[in-house]
Amino acid sequence: MATVKLRLFSALSIFLLSYCLCFAAAEDVRVTVRGVTSVAKTDDTFICATLDWWPSTKCDYGQCPWGQAGILNLDLNNKILANAVRAFGNLRIRIGGSLQDQVVYQVGHAVKKFPHFKRNDTGLFGFTRGSLPMHRWNQLNKLFNQTGVKLTFGLNALFGKHKSNDSDLWLGNWNPKNARDLMEYTIFQGHKIDSYELGNELCGSGVSARLDAVQYSKDIIVLKKLVDKLYPDPKTRPAVLGPAGFYDQQWFNTFFEATGPNVVQGVTHHIYNLGAGDPYFLDQIAQTYRDLSVSIKEFAPWAGPWVGESGGAFNSGGKDVSHTFANGFWYLDQLGMTSTFNHKVFCRQALIGGNYGLLNTTSFIPNPDYYGALLWHRLMGKEVLVTTHNTTPYLRAYSHCSRNKPGIALLLINMSNQTTFSVTVENDDNLYPSSRKLKNYIYGGTEKREEYHLTPKDGNIQSDVVLLNGTPLKLTSSLDIPEMKPIYADSSSPITIAPDSFVYVTIKDFKAPACA
């Protein structure tokens, strides 16, 4: 979890109140999808969730919301947990977080003592160092193997370094011996790692600790050489990711130049930007996504940008918001926005733990955002299409090629609490948009349209219960994730978007050459 020096407004629940006060009962809207070419492309495992190291004694603002949800104490035999992960088929999980750079691995001879996390005001983030036993590592990988997880593992980047006397800057070269011992053990056990990430929030001004960009580049080159040596087959070789922190243009550009080509395959950065529910506020973060994309294009075109961690609100999330339906206005909008800026992966903090887990920390029952993420994963394909509309920004619209189906999939988000939008979809098939604009045509196919309407129980956006097409989404009697069936609508009719709702739509006979 990202820990930030400033406390978010204790009135985080302002998010619940800041909606467009529109008085028209309904509004006709045209959403235009340009299906001729794609504007960006995500990875197959764009949806990602994190597991964090926090022990149960992690507390903020008079609450201790992590319980038994940390990597070292989570009940890995919980049936709901396994079913929730398995429902994705290939969910990406990132193991990492603030305490990552204080973790040593109980294997090999590089470490003589194996500590346990304890509260200590002099330690980074208020904790002493901790360690990962290999029997726990085996248990984690057993769950991941059984549920189809693609695993990103965050390594301790401060091992071998020492803190300077007058700042949070850490000095010296990274010592890779403990990481190498872990990798060799992992390979011997047959555990599959999709990618290794070095360090957590050490770039720029850092969070409690920081590294110089040139020094970090030297360290990650060492990691890349180690991975190449231990995984000689390029087909099964894990990717190398970094720097896993908040975007700082000068630091990132220096890092790219010092690292050189083909070392880092994924450029990971963190986002905690939950505002007051105002779309104009949410739009501000688009500049960060654009700036990073420009930096990568100029200095590291071989790599793709990732949101390696994002929970909306930092320090374990907002206790009255982050686990409720309301959080989806931020989360689903961020999924749509980052994909348009060519981001490959979006990792949600967290799968479980804190106030912002996709699963309830104690009961493991999915929170509303879990179902929003699952529908994205099942419906939204990798190819991202340009999508525009002719109304207020309180209606958000994103479209991709459909996943595993012909046609397109749309996500429509209504941030207004009073206005219903009646959406007609246009197809812009102009191959040369810079030339004289040709007339778009209203899509009117012959196949039924599939719609998934997500609304809060009793109209209360602070509810932990989400309705799909009017029916509450609840676990089955066998604790399986419920089947999520669409309703079918005549393609010639408008799509109705109720206030305070999200709608996924699949249009199978929408003629989009980019999706052929």
| Chain centre distance of CA 401 | 20
Strands 47-51 and 40-41: unpaired
197, 309, 426, 451: the catalytic one is: 309
Predicted confidence at residue 10, as pLDDT, reads 35
**Host H or E run for residue 346:** strand 345-348
CA distance 257 to 373: 35
Residue-level pLDDT, tens digit, the chain, 516 residues: 443 323 333 333 434 434 344 444 689 999 999 999 999 999 999 999 999 999 999 998 889 999 999 999 999 999 999 999 999 999 999 999 999 999 999 999 999 999 999 999 888 999 999 999 999 999 999 999 999 999 999 999 999 999 999 889 999 999 999 999 999 999 999 999 999 999 999 999 999 999 999 999 999 999 999 999 999 999 999 999 999 999 999 999 999 999 999 999 999 999 998 855 678 888 999 999 999 999 999 999 999 999 999 998 888 888 889 999 999 999 999 999 999 999 999 999 999 999 999 999 999 999 999 999 999 999 999 999 999 999 999 999 999 999 999 999 999 999 999 999 999 999 998 777 555 454 555 566 688 999 999 999 999 999 999 999 999 999 999 999 999 999 999 988 999 999 999 999 999 999 999 998
201 among known catalytic residues = yes
The conformational region for residue 407 under phi > 0 = left, psi -120 to 50 = alpha, else beta, is left
CA distance 54 to 49: 15
- Is 57 strand, coil or helix? coil
27, 184, 197, 201: the catalytic one is: 201
Distances (CA, A) of 144 to 86, 185, 211, 287, 323: 9, 17, 32, 35, 24
Predicted confidence at residue 6, as pLDDT, reads 30
Q: Phi and psi for 54 in degrees, rounded to 5?
A: -55, 130
Global pTM?
A: 0.94
Q: How many Å is the Cα radius of gyration of the chain?
A: 23
- Is 427 strand, coil or helix? strand
Q: Phi and psi for 455 in degrees, rounded to 5?
A: -135, 160
309 among known catalytic residues = yes
